[in-house]
Amino acid sequence: MHSSRGAPQVTKQSLDALLQDVGQNKSKESFMTLYDYFAPRVKSYLLKGGLNEDEADELAQETMLMVWQKAVSYDADLAAASTWIFTVARNKRTDYFRKTGRVMSVPPEKFYDLASDEDSPFETFYEQEVNADIGEALKALSSEQIEIIKKAYFEDKAHSQIAEETGLPLGTVKSRIRLAMDKLKHALDKSGHKDSHITHGETKG
């Protein structure tokens, strides 16, 4: 799936509208505009995330294919198109590392920083500050808490699946998530950011 079209000037609002058009109307024109803009940025993000050229190219293609297939689930009230698409890419990368048995070269606290680097022209200053503060807050967590948070939020796994993968009792998994989220919320409240999509989000029970 390759495109040779020149990408027009876009704004955050137009990207959101384009993704909605793909989801609601299966608009190929809107998708190609999104593809032209995001495919190279997603590839760059994946390269920074520890993948080689061929791997990044393949996963960027898979990411954009999933954008086409799953755009119907996009809700502009919950996230910007850029945030949604980079989340798809991040999950693709996580799945790839898990399937190949490789260790991620980029630690969890850097996940947001990498996406923000690619996304910053269309993210508000507030969102960039929140991402930076989340990264700092994650550094204060224990390795066990980071692992649980990574699985629950970055990999979007259910608590029961996390318990199975880690060998921990379900109650312990839920307790660690709750304690870690309390730490993150406290850190973000201190920095003046009380509306993080992570601290207000829900994990899968």
Q: Render pLDDT for 84-100 as a digit per residue (tens, 0 to 9).
A: 898 888 888 888 888 88
3-state secondary structure of 38: helix
**Which pTM was predicted?**
0.54
H helix intervals, 81-120:
81-100, 111-119
Find out whether 131 and 116 touch, Cβ atoms under 8 Å.
yes
Residue 76: count other Cβ atoms within 10 Å of its Cβ.
15
Q: Render pLDDT for 180-199 as a digit per residue (tens, 0 to 9).
A: 888 777 766 665 544 444 44
Phi, psi of 46 (to 5 degrees): -70, -35
Q: How far apart are alpha carbons 69 and 66 in whole angstroms?
A: 5
For the chain, domains (ranges, CATH) are 12-123 (1.10.1740.10), 125-195 (1.10.10.10)
